[in-house]
Structure 1
Amino acid sequence: MSITEQYLLDTYRARQHGEPAPPAPGAHDWQVVREWRDYRRFRAVLAERPARGRMRRALAHWLHPAR
């Protein structure tokens, strides 16, 4: 059974029972990507690895504002 078929079956069952419909497949993909990125950054901090990208620039600006 494909993802779409399972979604349609779940939607049908929810409607029959008067429950809210489940979220569509892929509705939260970007949220998952952001959470995964944040988790990687958090693990890097715990492992005492240096910050990269925007975080590094923000820290550099905060620590050395005269630059």
Structure 2
Amino acid sequence: MSVTQQYLLDTYRARALDEPAPPAPGTHDWQVVREWRDERQLRAILAGCPARPRFRNALSRWRRRVRDALSRRRRHPA
């Protein structure tokens, strides 16, 4: 039985029993992906793994900009 057939059968049963209809297939897919990603990141943090490269690179760029701005202020006080 395909997913669509199962959904139609569940919808028919819900309507016959005056219950709320089940969500359509694929409705909560992105929520599941986000929860899985958040859990994976939490497990990595708890295991003591370093930050992922993309995050680490963004953080180092931000630190560099702050450091450069502070050094410019010290050289040229207002």
TM-score, normalized by the shorter chain, greater than 0.5: yes
Which amino acid counterpart does residue 22 of structure 2 have in structure 1? P
1:66 Cα deviation from its structure 2 partner: 3.3
1:1-67 → structure 2 map (5 Å cutoff) = 1-52=1-52, 53-54=54-55, 56=56, 57=58, 61=62, 64=63, 65-66=66-67
Provide TM-score, normalisation by structure 1.
Answer: 0.79
Runs of 4+ residues deviating >3 angstroms: 64-67
From the two aligned structures, give the one with the greater helix fraction: 2
State the alpha-carbon separation in 1 of the partners of residues 15 and 45 from structure 2. Answer: 45
Could you tell me the TM-score, scaled by structure 2's length?
0.69
Secondary structure (helix, strand or coil) at the match of 2:21 reads coil
Sequence identity, in percent? 65
Aligned residues: 63
State the Cα distance separating 1:48 from its structure 2 match. Answer: 0.1
C-alpha root-mean-square deviation of aligned residues, in Å? 1.6
Residue 44 of structure 2 aligns with an amino acid whose one-letter code is A
